[in-house]
Amino acid sequence: MLSYRHAFHSGNHADILKHFCLMSVLEYFNLKDKAYWYIDTHAGAGLYDLSSPEAQKIGEYRDGLQKLLTATNLPDCWQHFRQIVTDCLPDHKDHYCGSPWLAQALAREQDRLRLFELHPADAEILRRNMRQISLPNRAQVFCDNGFKGLLSMLPPPSRRAVVLIDPPYELKQDYQHVVDTLKAALKKFAAGCYMVWYPCLSRQESEQLPLNLLKLSPDNYLQAELHVHTPRADGFGMHGSGVFIINPPYTLPDTLAEALPVLVNLLGQDDYARYTLRSAIA
């Protein structure tokens, strides 16, 4: 099933949460000179035109990125994120970055990107977008199953890696694929920093996923969720999203404790808006 295209959702509230966490993790990894690999299992197209018919059809960026760009009196952490995003898009002012584009902007010359995208059209767009960067040899794009591709890359030669797993969850099997893949990945490379994005839906499999992830690493994890509105009575739609990180930076809980309340106030759509932050750092 290859119907999901992130172009319809780019810049929404889930992207803002996911990319703030990704920026924070990569900047922490940059504190050491030693190289790392960034592995993205569901990379998408990498760069999205917000003036395109796809983005305009739903307009989710208006309740996400647009509010962030126009906000005033933001704390330093969000001003920094906003600057990172705008700096990585100097020639694409009407665009928003996907995770691979943001990662390449933060990665250094010695770091490597391994990007998987199963949708043929998006994989080709991703290849073209990655060719625009100043050091294209850093990034390799694979039109392949990211769950299997991740396992083929572990352990990385540098023994340092940040992994992002964010499938579309169109299929119920994706929830179990995430858990099974992470379990296998931890056996091959226990020291990796594994980031899982997931939607907050009124569905059992969505509510159960973070509980299943917690079982994989109960002593070294971080879970952050942003809920932007009340779940709808019909159970349809995503009322929030979460990021679950195994082996997170020890600084991340404090960073998110400052950042998440701001995001609730900025992107919340009704009185139900709230956040969740749980962690255990080994």
> Catalytic site residue 271?
no
Secondary structure E strands in 192-266: 193-200, 221-227, 240-246
Our CA angle for 15, 246, 34, nearest 5°, is: 90
Cis peptide before 261, with omega less than 30 degrees from 0? no
CA diameter of the chain? 51
pLDDT at 2: 45
Burial class (CB in 10 A: 0-12, 13-18, 19+), 280: middle
User: Which class would CATH give 6-219+242-248?
Assistant: alpha beta
Range with the lowest mean pLDDT among 49-58, 67-76, 108-117, 207-216? Answer: 49-58
Q: Which residues are 95's β-sheet partners? A: 49
Q: Which residues are 223's β-sheet partners? A: 244, 278
From the list 280, 228, 241, 278, the residue with the least C-alpha distance to 62 is 228
pTM: 0.95
pLDDT in tens, 26-84: 999 999 999 999 999 999 999 988 887 776 777 788 888 999 999 999 999 999 999 99
pLDDT at 76: 97
Structure tokens at 35: 């190289």
H or E element in which residue 159 lies: none
Domain segments of the chain as ranges: 6-219+242-248
Single-letter code of the amino acid located at 127: R
pLDDT in tens, 237-260: 899 999 999 999 999 999 999 999
Catalytic one among 40, 111, 122, 166?
Answer: 166
pLDDT at 50: 85
Average model confidence (pLDDT) across the chain: 92
pLDDT at 93: 75
pLDDT at 266: 96
pLDDT at 138: 86
pLDDT in tens, 146-168: 999 999 999 999 999 999 999 99
Range with the lowest mean pLDDT among 170-174, 189-193, 261-265? Answer: 170-174
pLDDT at 4: 53
